[in-house]
Amino acid sequence: MGLLSLAIWVPIFFGVALLVLGRHFSAQQVRWLALLGSLLGLAVTLPLYTGFEIGAAGFQFVEKVLWIERFNVHYHLGVDGISLWLILLTAFTTVIAVVASWESITERVHQYMAAFLILSGAMIGVFSAQDALLFFLFFEATLIPMYLIIGIWGGPNRIYAAYKFFLYTLLGSLLMLLALIYLYNASGGSFDLQDWYQLPLTSTEQTLLFLAFLAAFAVKVPMWPVHTWLPDVHVEAPTAGSAVLAAIMLKLGAYGFLRFSLPITPDASQDLAWLMIALSLIAVIYVGLVALVQQDMKKLVAYSSVAHMGFVTLGFFLFNELALAGAIVQMIAHGFVSAAMFLCIGVLYDRMHSREIADYGGVINPMPKFAAFALLFTMANAGMPGTAGFVGEWMVILGAVQANFWIGLGAATALILGAAYSLLMFKRVYLGAVANDNVKALFDINAREYGVLAVLALAVLFMGIYPKPFTDVMMPAVTELLLHISVTKLP
């Protein structure tokens, strides 16, 4: 079995085992087994990086086996510079999610941990699938465990949020399925993505296919105006569910643009770039303003995720190396920062069972260690230089200015808005005198919480100070994609 297969099936195996046998173990034993499964899942992804040939644009660690002969479907996996860090981020975030849920989840622990492990394997499957039908199956399979995580372990309105999440994303995917069937027939009966990249599609075909893919991927990112499910889901989801949703699941839609929309419909991507840029700038500016007036911490960070992901889609459709590489860097950085932001909210919620900003004030007094971590992650969310949140956004802004000064100016306003809503929340929650007796009774983070936040802090700082390992891996694949789209790269 190849490394990519191990990365997919090791966490799924542990997840299924916990689901079937977990009731025979104590909750504490289940937690340790889930941690073992997630750590093994992370361990088998590390050789993907150490053995990756930097400088090569093609797919590596390729596995291809005929799966469904009648329809020419293959179990076809591969990884390039675009997907490598997303796979590593998925495995890393799964470990964080398991440890972060150690004490907060006390009911049906084996089912909860199983859902996260199966979700991890399915998401890695999305990032490594090179057969379109296999991609679609993994893409849809991610819905089921997240639906259960929200619907069973979520807040008071969890059923509504779970249904909204499932229906929004499923409806978009139906149009993508039609596009996949059309391309299967157009290619003479192949689901291989490399075959589809060479198809001579007409302008009308490309436009219709682009819109079908847009319906699926825009909901998943989510882009404005189909973003309304995200705040409701984040508010109701358990803390680790919110962290994984923001860190990884939103990236599935962005990744779809890179694997389907841009290479399969390059002409339509350029013709409709104005639409994508407009929607992205609305997300960056308007949704940033919406975040500014939120009173619920989770809703604020959820809206900020929409704004930050607006940078990603903006970078995709500017068609220069700097912006496209910056968008992919932003996907990774947002994974670290958003997960950390939601985990910080979870630390407070576990103690006070409130997400309302008005219920807090002066948290820095009883929780100085925690407040130091929260300040770092807040600054990263605001895009401060030296943190992961700065690198990708700055690259996209530079790329946008190269393409069009006014687009760059619009994108740059996000740094101002990001600083405004992030620092305002920090000021109201953490600074000043102790607001009430509930805040006064708070106690600082324990060793487990400290460890989780410290690992994320190191990741945020490392990526902010030294992003070269990330960009070196992805640049050949970025250049190859732009050459395929046949766009003249700006100097």
**Reported pTM:** 0.89
pLDDT at position 372 is 92
**Which residues does 49 contact at the CB level (< 8 Å), separation at least 6?**
84, 88, 473
pLDDT at position 190 is 84
The answer to whether residues 352 and 438 touch, using CB atoms and an 8 Å cutoff, is yes
**Domain regions of the chain by residue span:** 266-486
Tell me the backbone φ, ψ of residue 104, rounded to 5 degrees.
-75, -25
Note the Cα 400 to chain centre separation in Å: 22
Q: If 0-12 CB within 10 Å is exposed, 13-18 middle and 19+ buried, where does residue 241 land? A: buried
In tens digits, the chain (491 residues) has pLDDT values of 788 999 999 999 999 998 888 788 887 888 898 899 999 999 999 999 888 888 777 888 988 898 888 888 889 899 988 899 999 999 999 999 999 888 877 788 888 899 999 999 999 999 999 998 999 999 999 988 988 888 888 778 888 888 888 888 888 888 889 999 999 888 888 888 888 888 888 888 889 999 999 988 988 888 888 788 788 888 888 888 888 888 888 889 899 999 998 898 888 888 888 888 888 888 888 888 888 888 888 889 888 888 888 888 999 998 888 889 999 999 999 999 999 999 999 888 888 888 888 888 888 888 888 999 999 999 998 888 899 888 888 888 988 888 888 888 888 887 888 888 889 999 988 888 877 888 888 888 888 888 999 999 999 999 999 988 888 888 888 888 888 786 433 32
Of 6, 25, 118, nearest to 33 by C-alpha is 25
Helices 84-100, 468-485: crossing angle, 10 deg rounding: 130
- Measure the CA angle with vertex 85, ends 168 and 409; round to 5°: 70
Strands 60-68 and 73-79: antiparallel
pLDDT at position 81 is 87
How many other C-beta atoms can be found within 10 angstroms of the C-beta atom of residue 393? 28
Q: Which residues pair with 64 in a beta bridge?
A: 76
How many other C-beta atoms can be found within 10 angstroms of the C-beta atom of residue 162? 22
Q: DSSP letters of 396-458? A: HHHHHHHH-HHHHHHHHHHHHHHHHHHHHHHHHHHSSS--SHHHHT-----HHHHHHHHHHHH
Tell me the backbone φ, ψ of residue 66, rounded to 5 degrees.
-65, 130
Output the six-digit token pair for 477.
Answer: 């694949």
The answer to whether residues 247 and 97 touch, using CB atoms and an 8 Å cutoff, is no
pLDDT at position 490 is 31
Q: HSE, CB side, 13 Å, CA atoms: give it for residue 108.
A: 12
Residue 7 carries which DSSP code?
H
Whole-Å CA distances, 93 to 83, 85, 102, 377, 408: 15, 12, 14, 16, 32
Of 211, 220, 144, 143, nearest to 178 by C-alpha is 211
- Measure the CA angle with vertex 440, ends 434 and 442; round to 5°: 125
pLDDT at position 489 is 33
Q: Which residues pair with 356 in a beta bridge?
A: 296
**Which residues does 415 contact at the CB level (< 8 Å), separation at least 6?**
382, 383, 393, 397
CA distance 213 to 216: 5
CA distance 221 to 253: 5
Q: Give me the amino acid identity at 486.
A: S
How many other C-beta atoms can be found within 10 angstroms of the C-beta atom of residue 228? 12
Note the Cα 211 to chain centre separation in Å: 22
Of 188, 185, 182, 223, nearest to 204 by C-alpha is 182
